Structure 1
Amino acid sequence: MRVNTELAAIRPDEIVALPERSFAAWFRQTSVLVGRQLLVAFRDPATVIQVVIFPALTLLMFKVVLGDVVSKATGHDSVYGTVPLVLLTSTMFGSGVAAIRLVIERGSGLLSRLYVLPINRIADFSARVLSESLRALLTSIVLVGAGFTIGFRFTQGIGPAIGLFAVAVMYATAFAMLTLATAVISRPGLPLVAYIGLLTTFMMFFNSGFSPIDGYPGWLQPIVANQPMTPAIEVMRSLAQGGPIAADLIKVIVWTVVIMVLSAYPALRGYRRAAVGA
């Protein structure tokens, strides 16, 4: 009753309608929808288990089962490879969950209802991408905290520490664009979970987080060295422990830009088609 009274007290001339295509409308509406996406994600126990609890347990298991073996074989503390690896893997699993949620909401008609509302046309999709960026930041902080329990430390100062989280967010944003684009351009009923899971698993086991690049067969080394996860892991390792950054950071930026540029048009066009039921 109190809310209705307050609404009734607002005169029509006090309500300012923002143009749908204006930046102000996009910013305000995207902010609201980002909050919705984060609430939906963190209120779902299965999502929390998959993107936070399971990666944290995986990190601890890597240390217990493989930590000493990898450290003795490489001469370096394995935790500086496994923590970045788990951070990136968590972002990929989280993006997969977001893509599945988008498919479900597409099937339920929610996308169509959002699309006919007088809001900016790209607000909902951009909110999904930005919410994945924020979720990746939050889960990365939690997972780094778990890493501290097994010996992970920032030895290069506060600036490189912030840079490590920035790389994780950059990677998460690009991967979210790719998975969400896949979700909206795929026909209904496509086993999206299996495909995204297969890609994530392949990338998870063939990177420099588990083993140095020269530990892989010669024919596989170029693939391992240049797949998106490896330069991101190497940059994050260097930011935490020290070491060269520039070359791998350039690779991370290039991969991020390429993935986002190639995903942007299919994502926006596919979202429109999915929303109107085409």
Structure 2
Amino acid sequence: MTAATVNTPLAPARRLGVGAGLRHTLTLAWRSLVQIKHNPMELLDLSIQPVMFVLLFTYVFGTAISGSPGEYLTFALPGIIVQNALFATMTTGFGLNTDLTKGVFDRLRALPIARWSPLAGRILADTVKQAWSVSLLIGVGAILGFRLGNGLLGLLGAFALLLAFSLAAAWISVLVGVLVSEPDKVQIFGFTVIFPLTFTSNVFVPTDRMPGWLQHWVEVNPVTILADALRGLLVGGPVVGPAIQAMIWAVVLAAVFAPLAVRALRRRV
């Protein structure tokens, strides 16, 4: 006697709401942050290197460029914060590529979670790391004599502008992290592109101290524009013009690289 087998059609997968997706994003962001406990070098890269830049440039070049280390610190610290934020965006692509090459991303996507939460969780975690790095630099700068010219409001505005620009620029890192085969290649891209971009800006040296042919590029360099906006917010000076230009750059970067990154990620996974 054989029992009859009835093939019951599977119920369609339930679509996850935005609230569930946000919870998944927060959980995965926390996962990325907790990993720092097992890999503290990840946080040290965002802590020691920027502090070294502040100390070395302030006390080695400060007198030669601005007359005194204190005056140079007032000029250079906002620019160093910008440079560090741009380098920190590379950690998003590095971490994403690591998850892709080791199969972690595939295992996450196999879970009943929102499809966009693994990437969103990675970006959110790196944004928290960005905030830590900026806070550290402001704190070290205060110890060395840096003083805020616009108080708490200017500081909050600088945080908001920098994090918004970093989120937009991070899509470049995401695209590179999806396209390359090894995490180290993401770092190579960062040093190849970001290093010349920051050193051909007014992050470390005022524009009028540079050769005339270079000044034309420095003035339109997005790193210069963002550094000028942060100087205005943290120290004093023009704010509206540089901030609007920086946000325009952020919108352009996000509009160009976010769709390319998402398309490349869908093809890879």
Q: Same fold (TM over 0.5)?
A: yes
Matched letter for residue 20 of structure 2:
A
Residue matched to 1:40:
35
Matched, 1:169 2:163: yes
Matched letter for residue 99 of structure 2:
E
Residue matched to 2:232:
238
Matches within 5 A, 1:3-152: 19-41=14-36, 43-72=38-67, 77-152=71-146
Helix, strand or coil for the counterpart of 2:89? Answer: helix
Matched, 1:255 2:243: no
Helix, strand or coil for the counterpart of 2:112? Answer: coil
> How many angstroms apart in 1 are the aligned matches of 2:16 and 2:264?
19
Matched letter for residue 63 of structure 2:
D
Matches within 5 A, 1:171-210: 171-187=165-181, 191-210=185-204
Number of residue equivalences: 257
Structure 1 residue 138: Cα displacement:
1.5
Cα deviation code 1:168-190 (max 9, x no counterpart)? 21222122221012211335588
Residue matched to 1:159:
153
Matched letter for residue 77 of structure 2:
V
> How many angstroms apart in 1 are the aligned matches of 2:17 and 2:162?
30
Contact conserved, 1:213 with 1:225, CA < 8 A, in 2? Answer: yes
1:270–1:20 Cα change, 3 Å: farther
> How many angstroms apart in 1 are the aligned matches of 2:209 and 2:169?
27
Q: Which of 1 and 2 has greater Rg?
A: 2
Cα deviation code 1:5-44 (max 9, x no counterpart)? xxxxxxxxxxxxx954421122111111111122224642
2:217 to 213, 223, 232: 223
* Percent identical: 25
> How many angstroms apart in 1 are the aligned matches of 2:33 and 2:251?
25
Contact conserved, 1:41 with 1:47, CA < 8 A, in 2? Answer: yes
Structure 1 residue 56: Cα displacement:
0.8
Gaps of 5+ in 2: 1-12
Contact conserved, 1:50 with 1:93, CA < 8 A, in 2? Answer: no
1:45–1:67 Cα change, 3 Å: same
Cα deviation code 1:243-276 (max 9, x no counterpart)? 111110111101111111112112212222222x
> How many angstroms apart in 2 are the aligned matches of 1:67 and 1:20?
58
Report which stretch shifted further, 142-151 or 213-222: 213-222
Gaps of 5+ in 1: 1-17
Residue matched to 2:8:
none
> How many angstroms apart in 2 are the aligned matches of 1:183 and 1:248?
30
Matched letter for residue 131 of structure 1:
A
> How many angstroms apart in 2 are the aligned matches of 1:72 and 1:24?
55
